[in-house]
Structure 1
Amino acid sequence: MLRVKAGDLDKMGLLFERYNRPLFAFFYHMTHKRDVSEDLVQNVFYRMLKYKHAFTGEGEFRTWMYHLARNILNDSVKQNRSSDHYDVSEMADKLGGGTLADEGFEKREDVDFLHKAMAGLSDDYREVLVLSRFQEMKYDEIAKVLNINEGTVKVRVHRALGELKKKFFTNERR
């Protein structure tokens, strides 16, 4: 990004090749809309070019990129107020380590219900799950992206998983 900032715009293609898929996955898990996610990825790269002067190189590029991505997603949600669908078809593999990864996910109805449960989480909880489980970011990276401390990230992930389990395994399911 520092080379792009210095005027070598050809390097933007390299950044696009490296980061377009992870950005698409982030947006798709947050919106569950392929076309919207593709547009949002394009907006991130447009803003990278527009605000290249703002990248100082002191922090990680990925953190700066996800700050842009979150701002673009928030802008999109405010404009559309219709982002209430989330993709969790691979949630069993990604969440792992608990009862959610059990054999119950073999049934399509379980996946459908988990999809609804994920959509029912607050934006804060859903976001930390997407960043930690789908984007495979470490807690310290998420803390930088969200501009909160690492302990808060750990608490949010723990509570988000608890909420998801509660929604999935309680009477709300029936």
Structure 2
Amino acid sequence: MDKNDLERAIKEVKAGDIDQFGVIIDAMQKPLFVYCYHMLGHRQEAEDAVQEVFFKAYEQIDTYRSVVSFSAWLYKIAYHHCLNQLKRAKLGRIVTFLKTGLPTVSHHEGERRIDQEYLSNPLHQALLKLSASERNLVILRVVEDKNYDELSILFNKKPAALRKQFERALKKCKSHMLTVEGGDDHDTISAVQ
């Protein structure tokens, strides 16, 4: 779906055509899932997050202005939602630990294997070493291919400042990957660039 079709669907949703929101979901569900999965690190949490983000987007669609792309607006909602999820998860682990002294994990075996396989990937491990805002920037810049002008609107920072922040985040990723891999595998590192 191109930008014009998406903008037309948004106008129709704002005018009351609820069915057009399904068109928006179809166009944005997969990239939004990939983003949330990179931010949260678990398949089920990412699926839940995508549903919540679409729900929030539908509730707030009247606040959307075409000054930024709809996808950028949606990613901003997703970022804040994922950030809140990460904070809640951290708080939940602390509370569980204080109550029982032991961390609890509640995943089905299949999901756990998929998550462990994915999370053991050196690139993902390096991303997890970044702060949530650095990870957000790297994912939006590399995976979602957002340009610095669009990112500057999302982050409310100048493009040059974001470029420097991105370079520092990449340097952290490369450093971690070199440490984990012993400095021998340059192919995985070049995938980050």
**Does the alignment pair 1:134 with 2:149?**
no
Secondary structure in structure 2 of the residue aligned to 1:47: helix
Task: Indicate the residue corresponding to 2:79 in structure 1.
Answer: 70
TM alignment of 1:1-174, pairs within 5 A? 1-81=10-90, 112-170=121-179
Q: Which runs of 4+ in 1 moved over 6 A?
A: none
Q: Unaligned 5+ residue runs, structure 1? A: 90-110
Query: Higher relative contact order by CA 8 Å / sep ≥ 6: 1 or 2?
Result: 1
Confirm or deny: 8 A CA contact 1:28 1:37 kept in the other structure.
Answer: yes
Instruction: Kindly provide the amino acid, as one letter, of the partner of residue 140 in structure 1.
Output: D
Instruction: Kindly provide the amino acid, as one letter, of the partner of residue 28 in structure 1.
Output: Y
User: Which structure: larger Rg?
Assistant: 2
TM-fit CA distance, 1:27 = 0.5
Instruction: Kindly provide the amino acid, as one letter, of the partner of residue 34 in structure 2.
Output: A
TM-score, reference length from structure 1? 0.76
Distance 1:54 1:67 in 2: 13
TM-fit CA distance, 1:159 = 0.7
Q: Deviations over 1:66-112 (max 9, x none)?
A: 12111211221222128xxx9996xxxxxxxxxxxxxxxxxxxxx64
Q: Taking every aligned residue pair, what percent have the same amino acid on both sides? A: 28
Q: CA RMSD in A?
A: 2.5
TM-fit CA distance, 1:149 = 1.5
Distance 1:75 1:11 in 2: 28
Assess, with a 3 A threshold, how the Cα gap between structure 1 residues 88 and 61 changes in structure 2: closer, same or farther: farther
